[in-house]
Amino acid sequence: MVRLACGLLLFSLSAPTLNAGPILGSASSFAVLGASTVTSTDLTVLWGNLGVGPGTSITGFPPGIVHGTIYDGDAVADQAEADALTAYNTLVKLPSDYNLTGEDLGGLTLLPGVYTFNSSAQLTGQLLLNMEGDCNARFVFVIGSTLTTASGASVITTNGTSCGNVYWVLGSSATIGSTTNFLGNILADASITLNTGANIADGSALALTGAVTLDDNEISLGLSGVPEPGTVALVSAGLFGLGLLRRTSRKRAT
């Protein structure tokens, strides 16, 4: 893994910086955006806007909580979908720094850059992203088809925070396993499913043509996309700790 990190250092020095706000356009304010439907089970909490377009079906809010605005099949949601598609097309065309086809992301430590998979990608265990002290450092994962994470998997940063600059660009769909602590903006050509207790920090779930399916999840935008300044402190790394306490308390109560 040392060889991989050193080899990619040259790419990280010359790669241009992308920020979640400018790249995602109006979609940057959405924690969840679906094209057909958005469905939630149990107490999902979103720190950012929720939208669907051109579909008009959002279910599960309430009891789900949205710290933002809900846009249901209106012009705002449609524009966000258009901006997400533009971002997808921009990101998918970036030149690859390293092809990880056939490798499990679990157990890897990566430097900033563009990582590609010819087909599907798997995450079992922990993926560590080394920010090198620069929150504007960019990680882009361009995956030909699906992304699947195992239960309890995680994506975390070292040497800094991601500031919304981690992107997962999928040719098909994403399935985030139960209790996974994920990181970054998922842009899926089709659908996104978060299984029970999965969380996304410093990112979002944006489905371009399909549905977003949620189940007792917590999703917090990157700082550049938080719609209200008062929420910034709440989308820090401690947010998921609060979420775990919330779920633990509820389970004890039952």
Tokens of 127: 């993926």
Distances (CA, A) of 244 to 73, 159, 177: 32, 24, 16
pLDDT tens-digit map of 22-72: 899 999 999 999 999 999 999 999 999 999 999 989 999 999 999 999 999
pLDDT tens-digit map of 136-165: 899 999 999 999 999 999 999 999 988 899
As a whole number of angstroms, the distance between CA 74 and CA 69 comes to 12
CB 242 within 8 A of CB 183: no
CB 206 within 8 A of CB 186: yes
pLDDT tens-digit map of 102-118: 999 999 999 999 999 99
